[in-house]
Amino acid sequence: MEIIPAIDIKEGKCVRLFQGNYSKEKIFGDDIIEIASKWIEMGAKRLHIVDLDGAKNGIRKNNIIVKKLVEFCDIPVQIGGGIRTFSDAKELFHLGVDKIIFGTAAVQSPEEISRSVEKFGKEFIIVGIDAKNGMVQTDGWLVNSKMNSNILFNNMINLGVNQFIYTDINRDGTLSEPNYKHIIEILENFRINLTVAGGIATIENLEKLKTIGAHSAISGMALYEGKINLVEAIKKLL
């Protein structure tokens, strides 16, 4: 199972939020290239980038940083946050991004995802499903869509999507361990490649996710706080 370091960008800085709350941020630096370089040197095979400004209002303000990052990295970069349309996806692929992640669009404009899957191929399209108490949140996790996450999984699978990132918002940034029960339910109900985010605090958490069948895991706070050593985690998960 692969562990993917997260770099969340807000106003040009690398930050982590507590349960997605924009007023509860912790800044880990303003040199995104330096941060990416650290994870690459420690063995990361992929980076997970989130444009938090774009996620909140659909206006991506960090494309210049993303372009520099992609040009610097010799590993694949996947990005989410504020990607609402086929045109957004096309623009980011033009910048050199390996995979793009739709979130809010899965609820509000699924036709844009369908078009993207058809044009670019399902291997390059990920849908991020961010849920609180089983209900999908959109617009930077600020809006309750009133849609059950299982319904959204099913809707997206019917469009040809088979790569998903599932984030339990109640666990995100808390270092309280993943929501194993719901993750197991998802993997039992759907034949998908599932990446898990939210609550990962230890290498043991990662090993359990591997055991229950997760395809990969995204780690942010645990890596930045030194709770997980990336080199050691990669060795353990081989």
Domains in the chain: ranges and CATH: 2-237 (3.20.20.70)
Q: Which of 51, 88, 130, 139 is catalytic?
A: 130
Q: Are 94 and 87 in contact (CB under 8 A)?
A: no
Q: What's the N-to-C CA distance of the chain in angstroms?
A: 7
**Alpha-carbon dihedral sign for residues 158, 164, 166, 172:** negative
Tell me if residue 8 is catalytic: yes
Token representation of residue 29: 């630096």
Q: Is 168 a catalytic residue?
A: no
What pLDDT, on a 0 to 100 scale, did the predictor assign at position 74?
96
Burial classification of residue 172, based on how many CB atoms lie within 10 Å of its CB (0-12 exposed, 13-18 middle, 19 or more buried): buried
Task: Quickly list DSSP for 94-128.
Answer: HHT-SEEEE-HHHHH-HHHHHHHHHHH-GGGEEEE
pLDDT at residue 174, rounded to an integer: 85
Please give the pLDDT value at position 45: 98
Q: pTM for this one?
A: 0.95
Q: With a cut of 50, list the residues of the chain below it in pLDDT.
A: none
* Residue of 55, 101, 97 lying closest to 80 (CA atoms): 101
